Structure 1
């Protein structure tokens, strides 16, 4: 079932998708700048196999670009939501919602998770490559 087009909602989804995409591109780039071997060691110290550092870095970078463009939005949002859920549970939940002296809390992670969930449920927006390339044009 196709949702009704409402220009304000579609512009809002576009803006939210682009900003979330930028956030993930920056997170991915920071992992590359740190050095993926170092990130893999950090993942290992938390009990997460180190090769996931490479998977997460590439997923954040390429997934963020995909979100910005609005291509593969539902799939990328679902994969990134899993990353956010694991990050929240394995790293941030112990720090509390707002965090403290030990570091930031999980409020941003939770917000990003639910933004991603929105795109899993709704799709990208009318203004996306997904819509341009893969949805049939109406004859109205």
Structure 2
């Protein structure tokens, strides 16, 4: 294992986890019913707001801890694909008239896919458990 690649994956894991954790937290703090209403207004079943918020909140915490990184990364990727194709795509990559585009979503998608495919063992609970089992 090359330490510079693991350090890079560790940084991606922390930033990705923190970003999703805070987005999930904001959905609950701002009133999850507001998010349910937004989802409904754009044609997405409202109950999916709860699923997305839980994936973001719990998944963000698990990602930071390095527990289930690959599975959480793939779940994050699904969430980002959903956001891009149902809400953001029509705004364009950079957005228009002061509105956000989907450039940030694509960056989070790429980070999530990388972590889903490669994982991140440095300072991870997964790595700790794996080490214990191999001794």
Instruction: Give the gaps of 5 or more residues in structure 2.
Output: none
Instruction: Give the gaps of 5 or more residues in structure 1.
Output: none
2:21 matched residue in structure 1: 25
Q: How many residues align?
A: 134
Residue from 30, 51, 57 that aligns with 2:53: 57
What TM-score results when the alignment is normalised by the length of structure 1?
0.90
Residue from 19, 31, 36 that aligns with 1:35: 31
By how many angstroms is 1:137 displaced? 3.3
Partners of 1:10 and 1:127 within 8 A in 2: no
Q: Pick the structure with more helix per residue.
A: 2
Correspondence 1:10 to 2:10: no
1:94 matched residue in structure 2: 90
Partners of 2:9 and 2:119 within 8 A in 1: no
Per-residue deviation, residues 16-74 of structure 1 (Å, max 9, x unmatched)? 10011110011001111221111101101111110111111111011001110110111
Q: Mapping of 1:124-135 within 5 angstroms?
A: 124-134=120-130
What TM-score results when the alignment is normalised by the length of structure 2?
0.93
Return the alpha-carbon distance in structure 2 between the equivalents of residues 76 and 121 of structure 1.
Answer: 11
Return the alpha-carbon distance in structure 2 between the equivalents of residues 107 and 56 of structure 1.
Answer: 20
Runs ≥4 in structure 1, deviation > 4 angstroms?
Answer: none
Aligned alpha-carbon RMSD (Å): 1.3
